[in-house]
Amino acid sequence: MAKQTVESLIEAGKATAAPPLGPALGPTGVNIGQVVAEINKKTADLKGMQVPVKVTVDTDTKEFTIVVGTPPAAALIKKEAGIEKGSGNPLTDKVADLKIQQIIKVAKMKEDALLGKNLKAQVREIVGTCQSMGILVEGMDAQDALKAIAEGKFDQQISSGRTELTEEEKKAQEEEKKRLHEEMEKRRAEFETKAKSILAATKDNKKARKAMVDAGIPQPIIDELAPEEKKEAVAGTTTPKATAPAKKK
């Protein structure tokens, strides 16, 4: 029984017989149309993301199996949250709020790559990733969500295995994301006003940067409004060259 394996990176839900997949499958003699249809079916929930697929074909019977890899957990979290990137300052700026069902969904999709021995432990791993992205879970900071999970507050939802949101929950989530964005923009404007005031009152850039840090202004805003000065060589000076050791006579 001869088997041949083809691995490729495709856009989820949009696999075609065109390169790179089609030409690679051609020599195996498998029905490419069937393979493509099956891949698109298996990757339908990942639309919009690049996913690795591995097709193993029995070159005698033309039967095939498909193994679909998954994007990184962070990419799946962003898809569930409907955002393009995480927060640049996750400690203060929150960009989205996920429901526990969405966390469970990501944990199930990544279960083979997670260390947790059960779904509850795997859910905790995904919440940990949310922490570094500035994403809330059920309205809580990740640390509070982890504590709530450990205390069993979400055991019923985890046991049920429900991973999809109702239309009402989706609508509420969008409204919360909009509120978080407006709150983040307002806070940024306040930080910028304070930073500009410090900059105007302190002519020395180095001192201004320190004053901004002391005032609790986020580093990205400091770097944007008062970039760190690059050290330049003093004119007329040269770096002394190392003297080669004298040759023995």
* CATH number of the CATH domain containing 17: 3.30.1550.10
Domain end position, chosen among 139, 165, 191: 165
Do 103 and 124 fall within a single domain?
Answer: yes
Portion of the chain with pLDDT greater than 70, in percent: 92
242 pLDDT tier (thresholds 50, 70, 90): very low
SS3 239: coil
Do 61 and 129 fall within a single domain?
Answer: no
Measured from the Cβ of residue 74, the count of other Cβ atoms closer than 10 Å reads 17
186: domain range? Answer: 178-225
SS3 64: strand
Do 79 and 150 fall within a single domain?
Answer: yes
* Domain harbouring 90, CATH code: 1.10.10.250
SS3 227: coil
Is the residue at 245 inside a domain?
no
Average of per-residue pLDDT across 22-35: 92
Q: Tell me, what's the pLDDT at 249?
A: 47
CA distances (Å), 15 to each of 11, 31, 42, 76, in order? 6, 14, 11, 19
Is the residue at 244 inside a domain?
no
Chain segment 216-226, per-residue pLDDT in tens: 888 888 888 88
Do 210 and 150 fall within a single domain?
Answer: no
The total number of structural domains that make up the chain: 3
Q: Look at residue 56 and tell me whether its pLDDT is greater than 90.
A: yes
* Distance separating alpha carbons of residues 246 and 236, to the nearest angstrom: 29
Q: Look at residue 91 and tell me whether its pLDDT is greater than 60.
A: yes
* Distance separating alpha carbons of residues 37 and 76, to the nearest angstrom: 23
Is the residue at 230 inside a domain?
no
Chain segment 93-112, per-residue pLDDT in tens: 899 999 999 999 999 888 87
